[in-house]
A and B are shown apart, each in its own frame.
Chain A
């Protein structure tokens, strides 16, 4: 693989300088930006796997995301379509209304993107109506509800109930996750899955979409 291996390795090892140097070198050599992005994405999948194996933690995940941002800042202004096209499926996700915590959600988003999912991240403090509208608009098969605060149980239930009222409940699997969640909370909310951690959340998305 020669040079291409260098880029992958540098990104997996989170060596920011070497990543950017490799990207610039390959651009200078006239390589297609799409090929470079594809390789970076593969490296990100590798980072996700290291996170699953608990060799990498949140800091490495954040750092890899930052390095990717730097890479895209170089590549995106270039002509041509940089989106990689094919993906595993779409996941809509957000932290429910009145809760502004996003660490857990962001971990899941980062892993999902690394695995090849198209992620629609609605952010924090998301109203039920916005979840419902986005589910309808995207036709997603998975909706992820994130929370840190235990007073949001009724709010999560409201999202599920509103999906039913909108006639969308049987079209989408609802996954809940976050510190105060467990099976009993899932039952109360009426969700399909409870994800005890970020990796479990990603595996649920894979299962729903029938992906590897």
Chain B
């Protein structure tokens, strides 16, 4: 193994050991969303999301400055794709926000209350016919030249983005020995409804006015999100799949237990059974809800505890069963001093991090405006206080080639299943599989393309 390969293996192994609650030499430096990275390297946020070369260059510069980092960061947004289809669910830096600002989600009622039946009955068709033209402005009115062109551009941009992501991950691995914190993404079914479909106000009235519809829709969304997540996940199963949670923190325990958890658990069970781990951003205060993570298999769900959550309580409640990340308030990164950072990390390492299964982090991210000296102080303190057993040489865990397709996972929906096409053709003359397989593969890619916009 070359030095770089070894470095990659050690970093990945350390990260995986923390997630699995297994012994390692030290605590990993493993934020999932290090917003500070490219800002430190001198990029504007516009450059990072619009210019893939500058993005990669920024990441490389950051890794060279902070070589102790074990996994760097995730970024789902390559803005040209969003522009190609006229996406309206985000405001982007450099486009409709100042270049150094942060991208922001624009929540509206993109699905109407009387559309539940259509969504539940045929989710793919529903998205294509009703919802997509509302969230991707350039695809409306359907059938217009501009709309058709938008889909064409959107498909091409998607392939370009996939290439950018792949390149980036290969470059970072081969040139700097840097693994990814997560690959692939999904949302809890309730959040799909609560974010981009009905919105917060809509969903919170729905759970009082039409609770059965909400529950039925959550059930329908389980396979949709599972298939989306698996399609985008790391085929080698090295990195967790990412799920940001958004609306759970606004729910009563009873509402959470009824509307949020059952379908979310079903979905996570499918992904874990398929051989994956999950990294969940528990946004806001999950204190009343996080005991449910005890119901998941041990060491499979890395939980990022947000600023409003109590990290010490989280450790007590679930920290011996799932790995936790967090503990440093955003304000400490931005307004604090290196001395304060050092004290905070020392405290975390000596308490919640004492036996592993813990990652020092901000509340789900490292802020854009982090003072470099504070970030440096965080790393130095982890190097000093976050040591476990020097004799353990972290190595990547065995992949799960044995992992099978989860029995509970329904096959992915298709807008035009092969059976329909085949009937139109009146059967094919040659080897049917040779025609069917690529047909289904492209149907599936198109189908996932539609679902990605719920994030």
Contacts of A100 in B (CB 8 A): 91, 104, 106
Q: Scan residues 304-339 of chain B and give those whose CB is less than 8 A from a CB of chain A.
A: 306-308, 329-332, 334-336
In the assembly, what is the distance between CA of A102 and CA of B399, in Å?
43
Q: A100-B104, A103-B200 are in contact. Are A151 and B367 (CB under 8 A)?
A: yes
Interface residue A179 (Cβ < 8 Å from any Cβ of B): yes
Is B204 an interface position by the 8 A CB rule?
yes
B284 / chain A contacts, CB cutoff of 8 Å: 179
B101 within 8 A of A: yes
Q: How many angstroms from the CA of A180 to the CA of B306 in the assembled complex?
A: 10
Complex Cα–Cα for A58 and B413 (A): 34
Interface flag for B252 (CB, 8 Å)? yes
Instruction: Find out whether the CB atom of A151 lies under 8 angstroms from the CB atom of B369.
Output: yes
Interface-side segment among A59-67, A73-81, A136-144: A59-67
Considering the complex, which residues of chain B in the window 326-357 have a beta carbon less than 8 Å from any beta carbon of chain A? 329-332, 334-336
Report how far A98 CA is from B363 CA in the complex, Å: 21
**Once the chains bind, are B335 and A184 in contact (CB under 8 Å)?**
yes
Contact in complex: B97, A98 (CB < 8 Å): yes
Q: How far is the CB of A163 from chain B (nearest CB, A)?
A: 21
A182/B255 contact (C-beta < 8 A), A58-B204, A59-B204, A62-B201 known: no
Q: Which residues of B contact A101 (CB under 8 A)?
A: 104
Q: Nearest A residue to B39 by beta-carbon distance? A: A151
Across-interface contacts of B101 in A (CB, < 8 A): 98, 151
| Residue B297 CB within 8 A of the other chain | no
Interface contact B208-A14, CB-CB below 8 Å: yes
Taking the closest CB of chain A, its distance from the CB of B96, in whole angstroms, is 10
B104 cross-chain contacts in A, Cβ below 8 A? 99-101, 149
> Is A153 located at the chain interface by the 8 A CB criterion?
yes
CB-based closest 5 A-B pairs: A59-B204, A150-B330, A57-B252, A58-B250, A62-B204
CA distance A179 to B284 in the complex (A): 8
Q: Interface range on chain B: under 10, 10 to 19, 20 to 34, or 35 or more?
A: 20 to 34
State in angstroms the CA–CA spacing of A153 and B335 once bound together.
Answer: 9
Q: A59-B251, A62-B201, A98-B101 are in contact. Are A150 and B334 (CB under 8 A)?
A: yes
Contact yes or no, A63 B204, CB < 8 A: yes
Q: Check if B140 is an interface residue, CB within 8 A of chain A.
A: no
Known: A98-B97, A179-B307. A63 touches B91 (CB 8 A): no
> Which residues from B are CB-within-8-Å of A60?
208
B interface residues with partner A (beta carbon < 8 Å):
91, 97-98, 101-102, 104, 106, 200-201, 204-205, 207-209, 250-252, 255, 284, 306-308, 329-332, 334-336, 363, 367-369
Given contacts A59-B204, A59-B207, A59-B208, contact A98 B307 (CB under 8 A): no
Residues of B within 8 A of A151 (CB): 101-102, 367-369
CB-CB contacts below 8 Å: A180-210 with B: 180-182, 184-185, 188
Task: Tell me which residues across on chain B come within 8 A of A180, comparing CB atoms.
Answer: 307, 330-331
Further 11 A-B residue pairs, CB within 8 A, beyond A62-B201, A63-B205, A150-B331? A56-B252, A58-B200, A58-B251, A59-B250, A59-B255, A98-B97, A179-B306, A179-B363, A181-B331, A184-B332, A188-B331
Most buried by B among A100, A150, A153: A150
Decide if B208 touches A63 in the complex (CB within 8 Å): yes
Partner of A188, one of B91, B208, B306, B335: B335
Q: Which residues of A contact B97 (CB under 8 A)?
A: 98
Chain A positions within 8 Å of B332 at CB level: 184
Q: Which residues of A contact B208 (CB under 8 A)?
A: 14, 59-60, 63
Shortest beta-carbon distance, B138 to chain A, in Å?
22
Instruction: Compute how far the CA of A181 lies from the CA of B205 in the bound complex, rounded to whole angstroms.
Output: 29
- Residues of A95-132 whose CB lies within 8 A of B: 98-101, 103
Most A CB atoms within 10 A — which of B306, B329, B331, B335? B331
Complex contacts, A54 vs chain B, CB 8 Å: 252
With known contacts A100-B106, A185-B335, A150–B367 Cβ distance under 8 A: yes
Q: Which of A152-184 contact B (CB under 8 A)?
A: 153, 179-182, 184
Residues of B within 8 A of A58 (CB): 200, 204, 250-251
- Residue of A57, A63, A153 near B255 (CB, 8 A) is A57
Chain A residue nearest to B284 (CB atoms) is A179
Q: Are B329 and A182 in contact (CB under 8 A)?
A: yes
Q: Which of A57, A150, A184 contacts B251 (CB 8 A)?
A: A57
Contact A185 B331 (CB under 8 A): yes
Report B313 CB to chain A, min CB distance, Å: 16
Provide the bound-state CA to CA distance between A162 and B363, in Å. Answer: 30
A160 to chain B, nearest CB (A): 15
In the assembled complex, 24 residue pairs joining A and B whose CB atoms fall closer than 8 Å, in A order, are: A16-B209, A56-B252, A57-B255, A58-B200, A59-B250, A62-B200, A62-B201, A63-B205, A66-B205, A98-B97, A98-B98, A98-B101, A99-B104, A150-B331, A150-B367, A150-B368, A150-B369, A151-B367, A153-B369, A179-B306, A179-B307, A180-B331, A184-B332, A184-B335
In the bound complex, what is the Cα–Cα distance between A86 and B200 (angstroms)? 32
Q: Which residues of A contact B207 (CB under 8 A)?
A: 59
Contacts of A14 in B (CB 8 A): 208
**Please, which residue of chain A has its CB at the minimum distance from the CB of B252?**
A57
A41-70 interface code vs B (CB 8 A; 1 in, 0 out): 000000000000010111110110010000
| CB-nearest residue of chain B to A60 | B208
- Within the complex, the shortest CB–CB distance from A156 to chain B, in Å, comes to 12
A183 to chain B, nearest CB (A): 9
How far apart are the CA atoms of A121 and B200 in the complex, in Å? 19
A150 CA to B329 CA, complexed, in Å: 10
A124 to B91, CA, bound (A): 14
Minimum CB–CB distance from B253 to chain A (whole Å) comes to 9
Smallest CB–CB gap between B364 and chain A, Å? 10
Name the residue of chain A whose CB is nearest to the CB of B335: A188
